[in-house]
Amino acid sequence: MSVMLGKSFFNRSAVKVAHDLIGCVLVRRVRGRTRRFLITEVEAYEGPKDLASHASRGKTKRNEIMFGPAGYIYVYFVYGMHWMLNIVTGKKDYPAAVLIRDIEGYSGPARLTKALSITGELNCKLLGKKIGLWIESGMSISSKNILRTPRIGVAYAGPVWSKKLYRFLLKEK
């Protein structure tokens, strides 16, 4: 039986949360219809020194939720056309989050937000049934079935941060 993940799950390092999200279930309820999707790929953004993170240049209006409590949603707009879904992790005032990149049936962070009607209206909201977006425990995935790679599209972060193995994905069987 799946259990909704709470603050204690997300109140850890973004890297640990990212690893543990593989195999969990992203749940979206819109207009009375509830849909569940296996999380298959995520990326961690860990703290103010992570040059790939929006928080690396300090707190701004856009990223201030990253400095908030764990379990809140950080949704932002990129390229003037796509929403990206992140979940805040770690302790308050330590900016960290996990980007949900892929779910079963929707490959790519922009495709999944479009398919699930995830927009900026969810930004700064606490994950939960009240807002219609939450994450449940799923199947237990062995670490040997989780691939770790560098994050995608973060070459601007320099040779150290762009090569961090902060991307986690379910290995193809």
Read off the pLDDT of residues 17-38 as tens digits, 9 standing for 90 and up: 999 999 999 999 999 999 999 9
Q: Where are the domains of the chain?
A: 7-170
Local structure of 158: helix, strand or coil: helix
Q: Is the dihedral of CA 164, 138, 142, 39 positive or negative?
A: negative
The pLDDT, as a whole number, for residue 173 is 53
Superfamily of domain 7-170: Methylpurine-DNA glycosylase (MPG) (3.10.300.10)
Helix (H) or strand (E) segment spanning residue 77: strand 73-78
The DSSP secondary-structure symbol of 108 reads S
The pLDDT, as a whole number, for residue 136 is 98
- Going by C-alpha positions, the residue among 130, 135, 157, 168 that lies closest to residue 42 is 168
Report d(CA 17, CA 73) in Å as an integer.
14
Whether 1 has a pLDDT exceeding 70, the answer reads no
pTM score over 0.75: yes
Angle at 98 between CA 171 and CA 113, to 5 degrees: 85
Of residues 1 and 13, more confidence is placed in 13
- Record the tokens describing residue 70, joined without a space: 């764990």
